[in-house]
Amino acid sequence: MKKVIIIDDEVAGRKLIKEYLLDFPELILLGEANNGVDAVKMINEFKPDLVFLDIQMPGMTGFDVLTHIEEIPQIIFSTAYDKYALQAFEVHAIDYLLKPYTRERFKIAVERLTDHSKESAIRPLAESLLMDRNSYPERILVQSRNKLITIAVEEIIRVEAYGDYSKLITIEGTYLSNFGISILEEKLDPSIFIRVHRSSIINLNKVKELNKYTKTYDIVMHNQDVVRVSRGYMDNIKKIMF
């Protein structure tokens, strides 16, 4: 059994969640609130296991609520706006229901409470927001063990092909990307990230020095990694030589 609270400033929104909750007798509704202030009081008093939380509310947003409660329960956001998906991802919400949503979509969100293999709406929305902020992203989502984290693109020292995937090498560690190196070459700012080999892209800002090697160069990166420039990509290096 899980204790549930609904926070939504719209009567219709609260009513819909209550209707859909009837399909889940293991979820016990403790109460509901239509504003952030009451939400904080109710969550701190009843300590629910799960909160259905709207984002845009008078006086206090859903994210403001999370900063004022003593213990953060599992959260399923219920909102009409997709622009908050990245913030929802960063607070480890279970799911992100975009209004209007169906009974079936609600069921998928609830089932994620116990079945984490089910796809949440948060990751694709967050990835889309990160990619759309600029022509080239400043932050990206990467896999770290059993979770996704955000890293600054500027922290990437180099990219290395890894079969159909790629490795992103940073000062903090190495992360695996689901994209091949050619796709990443298109996604990264070409004024900073330069392809120097069919299996290597380097961050110019992380280059320590270039050492002449017969008819090509070895590039020494800030972390002391050495990357060979292949003859087929020499023109990319010559373009930035003055």
pLDDT tens-place string over residues 9-68: 999 999 999 999 999 999 999 999 999 999 999 999 999 999 999 999 887 899 889 888
Domain ranges of the chain: 2-121, 134-238
Q: Looking at the predicted structure, is the pLDDT value of residue 133 above 60?
A: no
At the top level of CATH, the class of 134-238 is: mainly beta
Instruction: Report the mean per-residue pLDDT for the chain.
Output: 88
Amino acid 119 reads: E
Residue of 10 and 215 predicted with greater confidence: 10
User: Do 2-121 and 134-238 share a fold?
Assistant: no
Among residues 4, 54, 46, the alpha carbon closest in space to that of 25 is found at 4
Q: Looking at the predicted structure, is the pLDDT value of residue 129 above 60?
A: no
Fold of the domain spanning 2-121: Rossmann fold (3.40.50)
- Give the number of other CB atoms < 10 A from CB of residue 145: 6
Residue 106: what pLDDT? 95
Give the predicted TM-score (pTM) of the model: 0.55
Please compute the mean of the pLDDT values over residues 77-97 and round it to a whole number: 83
Q: Looking at the predicted structure, is the pLDDT value of residue 169 above 70?
A: yes
Give DSSP secondary structure letters for 2-39: EEEEEE-S-HHHHHHHHHHHTT-TTEEEEEEESSHHHH
Q: Looking at the predicted structure, is the pLDDT value of residue 117 above 60?
A: no
Q: How far apart are CA 175 and CA 155, in angstroms?
A: 12
pLDDT band at 72 (very low <50, low <70, confident <90, very high): confident
